[in-house]
Chain A
Amino acid sequence: MIVSPRQKRTRGLQYGGLLLYMLFLAFPLLWLLSVSLKGPRELVELHPHLIPQDWTFSNYREALHGDIGIGDVTLLHAAWNSTKVSLLTALLTTVIGLPAAYVLARQQGLISRVGLGWILLSQMFPLILIIIPLFLLLRDLHLTDSHTGLVFVYVVWTLPFILWMLQSYVRGIPRDLEEAAMVDGASRLTVLRTVIVPLLAPGVAVTTLFAFITAWNEFFLALVLLQTPGLTTLPLLLARFVGVEGVVRLGPLAASALLATLPSLLLFTVIQRWLTRGLMSGAVKG
């Protein structure tokens, strides 16, 4: 193919544009990385460099060995809290969501249409309308300042979206497959086990991971519900650390922030391909 100078120029412009985008997207991240690798003396320099003059991993060491937390809550302690809460949320939403999604996808009646409409609509409501009644409800159950209460709220909060994604995966499985198996004399349960579950497995994995990431990143609900520092989740710990006026040690903070992002970033790279596909099939059709 012959490339005209005009086309060449367009390509050049396109590469330039792409480069600008990459700068905008990546620059804050690079800066965070750079700050996390600087020693305390370099951090108070009036004119900082992007590339640390004095590489050091001491910030990471400090972040991991405590000393950064409020009270005696260390980064690792908060990470363990986050893991516990996110894992529970992910498992519970999947366990509750799977059967419900199956029914929603396979039933054609009014209920399922109303249900789906509701799910879409519930994504539009401001969080404050859900958190206040949930807070008052948890107060009556004496669960406000506990992980159990937080998991409960997370499940309620992530379930609609999880349901939406799961039911779109179920829809993706042709009905004929099921019917063919039924004709062969298999019971409904056997069909579920031998046909649906294996086909659905990747979708379920993606949604479970997505629920995990959502709970891992969540901040507002934890902020409202948790008081005891021992229960603090990661985002909460980081946010509190930012708040302390004047005494913020930027290096360890940057290191902790990066460490806290790592798990969700890794999981996200694993699932992003399926996630975007699942979302798109939902969004474009809807």
Chain B
Amino acid sequence: MRKTLGLSTALVLCVALLASTAQAGKAKQNVTNLNFATYVWQPTTVKAMNAIVSSWNKSHPAIQVHIVPVDVNSVHDKLLTSFVGGSASDIVHDEAADIAGFTQQGYLANLTPLIPKKLKSEIPKSIWNVTNFGHKITGVPIMIQTYNVFANMSLLKANGIKAPTVTKPWTWAQFRAAAKKLTKNGNYGVCWGLRSPTATIQTISLNWGGQWNYLQNGKWVLKIGQGERTTLTTMHDMIYSDKSVDPAGVGLSGSAVLPAFFAGKCAMTIQGNYQSQGMIEQAPKGFNWAMFPPLKGQTQDQAANPQTLSISAQSQHKAEAMQFIAYALNAQNMAKLSAGDWLIPASPTAAKIVVKSTKHYGSWKNAVSAVPFFKKANWVTLGPYARWKAEVATPAFRQYLSNQIDLNKLTSQLVDGWNSIRG
């Protein structure tokens, strides 16, 4: 008797628990429910995103949007598993370089016929190009990051160095000279966290026209030409010849060098422009910092790799999903999002609103000044890029920057790696 009793209790418990796990997915009828997978993570942006979604839900009772948060560190893995598993959200938040692969695999809907005219006209064509994969746009650009110099203004002033302006930006040569001048008494001119260096290197190499990938006889090849080489040697020389970059910081992540910057151990640091948010939150009181306009090589061009919103090919409600995207990315809302992340909005109208909304050291003016220089980099739209970046480029660049391999070895590793991955 005891056994049957125990068994049946166990079974009842199991059934009850199973029922409770199964219930969660059921939805109300007559309402279109859209899942929206987003990896926004800065608290300010999370707040803005939540506000946008709840105001949409209030004004559109027939189309309800539900946020599915994605962990910012594993966006790609999680999206892939959800696509393969058939549990993908209707709307997914990713970045241009990453959706190239998903587009190739057929997991993203072609948005070209769905994008409303107004949205289309608000974002410049040069930026739309980035998410256009052979006459097929699969992502709507939201916001873009640049790499900028952040400076400790007190140290610069003490050394008689004048800050650049939007009209008179620093060239790399000027930056190097300043870094050298600021390297003294055991302190360094620059702290540069290059733990994941690939995006940084490839973005700034457009300064010298370095595209990395070139179309040759119908095939995408990887070439380390003059532009690419200048980028690499400039960085390497600053660390090992000028010795103006703190070598201990090179292996760290971008935000991990901030404490040294705040402590005055280095006068400048190169960071994604979104670090403005980190500076505001973490800088000690009275710390006088500024973000400079993008550095100039031959040009101030930087590669645009915007965050994107896409629609899953598996979604049953593509038109409704696009309606929401258009709403979430209207100029007002886009401005709110980019104000939270300190990223540059893809729409110039939104950029104007952001600039008005803040007055911190003119940083936003400097950030937005980069908009005309955004160019499409070929690597952003290539399917094999994600694997090449993870498997070949990042380890090779790290070894080069930690002086374990030379430029020739690096070049052959990068090119061979590309050829074998492209197949």
Contacts and interface: CB of A to CB of B under 8 A. Distances in A.
- Consider the complex of A and B and state whether they touch directly, i.e. have CB atoms less than 8 Å apart: yes
Interface in B1-32: 1-3, 7, 10-11, 13-14, 17-18, 20-22, 24-25
Contacts of A193: 1-3
A88 B81 contact: no
B278 to A, nearest CB: 8
B234 to A, nearest CB: 25
Interface of chain B, main secondary structure: helix
Contact of B85 (A94, A95, A139, A148): A139
Nearest to B21: A147
Contact of B17 (A71, A87, A246): A87
A141 B2 CA distance: 36
A244 B21 contact: no
Nearest to B9: A91
Contacts of B85: 135, 138-139, 144-145, 227
Contacts of B86: 139, 142, 144
B17 A88 contact: yes
A247 B278 CA distance: 10
A186 interface: no
Contacts of B215: none
Contacts, number: 85
A131 B414 CA distance: 33
Given A95-B10, A144-B81, A193-B3, A240 B73 contact: yes
A145 B41 CA distance: 22
Contact of B7 (A95, A145, A151): A95
A36 B263 CA distance: 26
Interface in A210-237: 224, 227-230
Contact of B87 (A148, A227, A245): A227
Interface stretch (B221-229, B249-257, B304-312): B249-257
B17 A145 contact: no
A228 B37 CA distance: 9
Interface in B248-279: 253-256, 258-259
B292 to A, nearest CB: 22
Interface of B: 1-3, 7, 10-11, 13-14, 17-18, 20-22, 24-25, 41, 68-74, 78, 81-82, 84-87, 253-256, 258-259
7 contacts: A70-B71, A87-B17, A135-B85, A145-B87, A151-B18, A227-B78, A246-B256
Interface of A: 44, 70-72, 84, 87-88, 91-92, 94-95, 135, 138-139, 142, 144-148, 151, 192-193, 197, 224, 227-230, 240, 243-247
